[in-house]
């Protein structure tokens, strides 16, 4: 921004706030713990829930995969990746690439067989973003390419998820595949637009988190409601910051 005056300085300070980083990561951790994610393992070819924390070590020694613990760690770092990306720091893309590997493995074990196809693509997009941002990518206004990316991403999301289910099995309920396709398609488009730093990048995350907030409210999962309220709040302020305040001032 050089010497320009920010249009919304309070929004910029919220986006850049380290306090919100800590709050977001803490929320994700304690909500995951409250929902007993840490008591979930993958053992003898199936997911087992409700394993007491004190017994996890003995199960791991027998070859169990601590699915819940890795899910919690991945969720915390995913939150931090989201926050650092919003701050326009390339560290966010690096963390995003790392957590993609962890999340892909966990998602596959939870029955999403298409993760074999979808997560490698997401990982590639994050590496693309890392390279673009390292080269000094600046925030750009939306154009025809932006709408093309969003449209194609949704179509690719459906194609890859249904193809993965057909090739590799896993859960095959239509409602499950449609939800996974939509969420993957939206996130795919958002990640590509993030790599190119479109000023409307966070609009996709507003839609995604809004959808998750409504879904969890209907299901009565109020712990996740709190989490997605924070995610939605973060997406809204970051969208305003990118669109109206522009690039972060460089020292």
Reported as a single tens digit per residue, the pLDDT across 45-101 is 888 889 998 899 999 999 999 988 998 999 999 999 999 999 999 999 999 999 999
CA distance 130 to 96: 10
- Identify which of 101, 113, 205 has the alpha carbon closest to the alpha carbon of residue 150: 205
CA distance 191 to 96: 10
Q: Could you say which DSSP state residue 4 is in?
A: P
Write out the residue range of the structural domain in which residue 114 sits: 9-245
Is the Cβ–Cβ distance between 92 and 85 less than 8 Å?
A: yes
pLDDT value for 4: 65
- Identify which of 83, 79, 94, 44 has the alpha carbon closest to the alpha carbon of residue 65: 44
Q: Is residue 54 part of a domain?
A: yes
> Which segments within 65-197 are labelled E, that is strand?
none
Q: Is residue 3 part of a domain?
A: no
Give me the DSSP letters along 175-200. Answer: HHHHHHHHHHHHHHHHHHHHHTTBTT
Q: Is residue 2 part of a domain?
A: no
Q: Is residue 58 part of a domain?
A: yes
Reported as a single tens digit per residue, the pLDDT across 5-39 is 899 999 999 999 999 999 999 999 999 999 888 99
pLDDT value for 132: 96
Is pLDDT at 139 greater than 90 in this prediction? Answer: yes
pLDDT value for 101: 93
pLDDT value for 1: 43
43, burial (CB in 10 Å: exposed 0-12, middle 13-18, buried 19+) = middle
Q: How many separate domains does the chain show?
A: 1
**Who wins on pLDDT, 4 or 221?**
221
Reported as a single tens digit per residue, the pLDDT across 142-192 is 999 999 999 999 999 999 989 888 888 877 788 888 888 988 899 999 999
Q: Is residue 190 part of a domain?
A: yes
Is pLDDT at 249 greater than 80 in this prediction? Answer: no
CA distance 121 to 91: 19
Positive or negative: CA dihedral 138, 104, 41, 221: positive
Q: What is the mean pLDDT of the chain?
A: 91
């Amino acid at each position: 921004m050089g010497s320009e005056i920010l249009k919304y300085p309070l929004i910029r300070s919220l986006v850049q706030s380290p306090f919100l980083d800590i709050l977001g990561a803490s929320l994700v951790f304690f909500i995951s713990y409250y929902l007993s994610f840490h008591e979930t393992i993958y053992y003898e070819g199936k997911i087992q829930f409700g394993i007491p924390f004190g017994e996890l070590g003995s199960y791991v020694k027998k070859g169990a995969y601590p699915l819940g613990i890795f899910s919690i760690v991945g969720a915390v770092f995913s939150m931090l990746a989201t926050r650092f990306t919003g701050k326009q720091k390339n560290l966010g893309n690096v963390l995003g690439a790392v957590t993609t590997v962890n999340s892909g493995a966990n998602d596959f074990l939870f029955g999403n067989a298409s993760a074999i196809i979808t997560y490698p693509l997401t990982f590639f997009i994050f590496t693309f973003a890392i390279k673009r941002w390292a080269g000094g990518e600046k925030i750009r206004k939306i154009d025809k390419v932006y709408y093309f990316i969003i449209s194609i991403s949704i179509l690719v999301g459906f194609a890859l998820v249904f193809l993965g289910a057909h090739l590799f099995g896993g859960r095959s309920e239509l409602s499950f595949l449609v939800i996974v396709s939509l969420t993957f398609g939206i996130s795919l488009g958002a990640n590509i637009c993030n790599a190119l730093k479109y000023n409307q990048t966070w609009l996709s995350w507003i839609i995604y988190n809004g959808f998750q907030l409504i879904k969890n409210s209907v299901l009565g999962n109020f712990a996740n409601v709190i989490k997605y309220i924070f995610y939605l709040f973060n997406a809204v302020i970051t969208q305003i910051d990118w669109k109206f305040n522009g690039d972060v001032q460089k020292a």
